[in-house]
Structure 1
Amino acid sequence: MSPFSATNNLSGTETLHIHLRLSQYREETSPPVSMPLPPATTPVPQPVFMPGMSHAAESPAPAPAPSAIPTRPKDDETTDDKNQDPSSPATSLPRLRLHVQDVAHPGSSIFLSSVNAATVLRSSIDSIHAHLYSQPPSSPPPTRSVTLVLRDMDGVAYTTGSDLDPDHKEIHFSLRYISSIAPSSRQSAEIRGVLLHELVHCYQWNGRGRAPGGLIEGVADWVRLRCDLAPPHWSREQVPAKWDVGYQGTAYFLEYLEDRFGKGTIRRMNEKLRKERYEEKAFWTELVGGPVEQLFEDYKKTLLKGGQKD
C-alpha cells in the first residue's frame, strides 16, 4: 500500500487534524526540516524503566525510551472539581491531532494502514475512563488536546506537555519502531497497545508529583493489560525485582491487588493519587490496610506457588 492510499483510513473525522510533511521533495526552495520539540518541553527520558514491546523477527527493535511522568496542575483538588462537571458524560474527548513528519517513511504506511487514528485514540480514551474514572467524584486531569506526532527517532514513544500549557499533551511515537514490529500480524495490536499506554499518561494522577515512576508506568501497562493488548512476551509468572519495577512487572502486581481487594481498587488508588501527596507507608495502609512491601511479598508467594505447579 502506498503512503497516499493508506490515508483513506482516516476519513470521517472532524476533530483530527493531519499535517503531512512530504520530505521526499527536496528540490523545493524551502525544504522541510525535522520538527524540534517546543522549547522547555519535557526531554526524552533516559531508559530507567523498559516498556514491554513486540520485537522484530530478524533484527532487534530500537532501544525503548520510557514515557515522561506527565505534568499535572499544581492547584488543589478544588481546582480539579471546577474543571470536571459530575453531571457531564463519562468521557469528554479532547481535541485530537495527528502529525506525520515523514509520510514516505515505511513506518507511516504501516501505521496508517494498521489503525484508524481517530478511532483508536477515542476508543483508548474511553477505555481509560472506564478503568480509572467510571464513578464520580473521581475526575481526570483537564487534558484539552492530544497531538500524536509520528517521527523517526530512537526508542518507542514518550508523552510530554506543552511548555505553554500542561493541559495540552504530545505523544511522540517512533516510526522506526513501528516499522520494526514483527510479525506483521502484530502491527495493529502493538500500535494500539503503545498508544493506549501513552494516553494513560495524559489521564492519570501522580500524587502531586511524588508517586514512584515505576507505579506511573505500571498503571499505564495495567490499563493495557485490562484491555487485552498485552504483547505475547509479557509473562505473569516472572517474579519482578521490586513492586515498582515498572511497566508489565508492576502491572501484574496491580492486577493482583485488583483481584485480592476487589474490582475498583486501582481506580480508588488513582483517585487517592489525585487528592493526596504520595507518602508510601500511609498511602498503601489507608488504601488496602497494609504496607506495600508486605503486599508484594504476598504477591511473590503466589508466583512461586504457580511455578511449582508447573
Structure 2
Amino acid sequence: MAPTPPSAWPYPTLSLRIPDLAHPGVHTFLRLLDAHTALTLAVESTLTHLYDTPANPNLPQTVGSVMLVLRSMDGVAYTTGSETHKEIHLSVDYIVKKGEGGEDVGREIMGVLTHEMVHCYQYNARGKCPGGLVEGIADFVRLHADLAPPHWSPHSVPDKWDAGYQHTAYFLDWLENRYGKGTVRELNVLMKEREWEENIFRELTGRKLGKLWKFYIELLKVQ
C-alpha cells in the first residue's frame, strides 16, 4: 500500500541529535540518508500499517515530537521517552559493522528506524502486552514496508508464539493472510484501553491462541 500523502497524517516534529560528528557511522548515515525524509517515511509506514487512514479514531494524537539520536553504543537501537516526546537511539557502531559486512546499509537503517517508529505509536495493553508481541508487531510493520533484511526467513520454526521480532512477525503475517487484511491492525487497537489477555486472539479469529499456534507450526514443519 502506498503511503498516504504527507499532509494527511498528524506528523510529529522531527529532529536529529549527533553527539560526535567525527564518528564514521555518522558519516555513513549522512551520506546515505536525509534524516528528515527517512523519519517521515518511517512515520508514514507505521501509521499506514497500524491505522490505515488519518480518519481512524484510534490514531494516537499525543506524539508531538520524535528525536533521532545517532550515537556510539552497544546493540542496535531502542526507543524511549514520554507520551508526547519520543527518542529513537540508533547505534552508529552498528552502522559501521553493517557496512563492513557488505550489506545494503541504507535499507537496513530504514528497516531499523521503521521498527523503532512503531514503538512510538503502537498500543501495548497498558504496559502488559508480552514483549515478544510488542517486538513482533514492530517487525510485522517492517516486513510489510518491504524492509525485511536478508537473514529473515518465513520458514524458521520458533519455540513459542511470542519469541519476538521476525519470528512473531511471520506468525502475525500468517494470521493476516488467513483471517484477512487488517487483522494485526485490529489486534493493535484491541490493546488500546485494556490489559493483556490471550483471549484477544479468540476475539479476532474465533480460535484460541494455542490452537492458532499449533496450526501455524504444523504448516511450517511441512514446508
Q: TM-score range by the shorter chain?
A: over 0.9
TM-score normalised by L of structure 2: 0.92
Q: Is the 8 A contact 2:10 2:61 kept in 1?
A: no
Corresponding residue for residue 104 of structure 2: 186
Residues 102-160 of structure 1: CA deviation (Å, up to 9, x unaligned)? 11000000000111111111011111111111142321251111111111111110000
Q: Is the 8 A contact 2:62 2:83 kept in 1?
A: no
Aligned with 2:62 (options 104, 119, 142): 142
Q: What letter is aligned with 1:168? A: H
**Whole-angstrom distance in 2 between the partners of 1:174 and 1:303:** 34
Residue number in structure 2 paired with 1:227 = 145
What is the Cα-based RMSD across aligned positions, in Å? 1.3
Report deviation, 1:305.
Answer: 1.4
Given the alignment of the two structures, is residue 250 of structure 1 paired with residue 168 of structure 2, yes or no?
A: yes
> For residue 163 of structure 2, what is the amino acid of its counterpart?
V
Q: Distance in 1 between the 2:57 and 2:69 partners?
A: 33
Q: Which structure shows the higher helix fraction?
A: 2
Contact 1:133–1:140 (CA<8 Å) still a contact in 2? no
- Unaligned runs of 5+ residues in structure 1 are 1-88
Quote the residue 1:236 is aligned against: 154
Structure 1 match to 2:93:
176
8 Å contact from structure 1 (residues 96, 118) kept in 2: yes
Taking only the aligned residue pairs, the percentage that are identical comes to 50
Which position in structure 1 is the counterpart of 2:214?
A: 297
Look up the equivalent residue of 1:294 and give its one-letter code. Answer: K
Unpaired runs of 5+ residues, structure 2, are 1-6
TM-score by length of 1: 0.67
Q: Which residue of 2 aligns with 1:285?
A: 202
The 8 Å contact of residues 130 and 162 in structure 2, kept in 1 or not, is answered as: yes
In 2: Cα distance, 1:180 partner to 1:275 partner: 40
Deviation at 1:185, TM superposition (A): 4.9
Counterparts of 1:304 and 1:277 in 2: how far apart (Å)? Answer: 33
Larger Rg over CA atoms: 1
Structure 1 distance, partners of 2:103, 2:125, is: 38
Q: In structure 2, do the counterparts of structure 1 residues 103 and 184 end up closer, same or farther at CA, with 3 Å as the change threshold?
A: farther
Per-residue deviation, residues 68-114 of structure 1 (Å, max 9, x unmatched): xxxxxxxxxxxxxxxxxxxxx65111011100111100000000011
Q: What is the CA–CA distance in structure 1 between the aligned matches of 2:8 and 2:202, rounded to whole Å? A: 30
Name the residue aligned to 1:274.
192
Q: Paired residue for 2:51?
A: 133
CA drift of 1:290 comes to: 1.4
- The one-letter code of the counterpart of 2:130 is P
The Cα of 1:277 is off from its aligned counterpart by: 1.8
Q: How many residues align?
A: 214
Aligned mate of 1:155, from 75, 79, 98:
75
Structure with more relative contact order (C-alpha pairs < 8 Å, separation 6 or more)? 1
Question: Does the C-alpha gap of structure 1 residues 185 and 234 become closer, same or farther in structure 2, counting only changes over 3 Å?
Answer: closer
Residue 184 of structure 1: CA displacement? 4.2
